Amino acid sequence: MRIPALAILTTVPILMAAPTLAQTYSPDYPVCLEVVSIDGGLYIECGYTSLAQCAQSASGRAAQCIINPYYPGTRALPGRRDRRHPRVY
C-alpha cells in the first residue's frame, strides 16, 4: 500500500507543473530586440527578419537590436580538401 501511495505522491506534482521555456532566443528569426521595461527588467523578442525591421520597432523605446546567436541560418560548407594526409618532409 505504501508503494502505490508514494508513486502517486511523486508523479502528481510532476504532472501538475507548468511547462516553461528554457531558451530566451527563438531560433526561427535572425534578429532579436532587447527591450528594457519600466521596472528595469529585460525581455527579448525574436521575431524580426532584418535589422532595419527591428530598428523601426525599437524606435522611441529603450531597446536595441541584436543578431540572434542561436539562428542557424545558412552556413558555409567546409572547403574541399584534396589531400588526405599532410606531407611529411
pLDDT of residue 78: 59
Query: Could you report the per-residue pLDDT of 1-36, keeping only the tens digit for each?
Result: 667 766 666 666 666 655 554 557 788 899 999 999
CA 41 vs. chain centroid, Å, equals 18
Q: How far apart are CA 65 and CA 41, in angstroms?
A: 16
Average pLDDT, the chain: 77
Q: Per the confidence metrics, is the pTM higher than 0.75?
A: no
- DSSP summary character for residue 89: -
Three cell numbers at 38?
Answer: 519600466
Across the range 50-68, mean pLDDT stands at 94
- What is the structure's pLDDT at 85? 62
> Of all residues in the chain, what percent carry a pLDDT higher than 70?
57
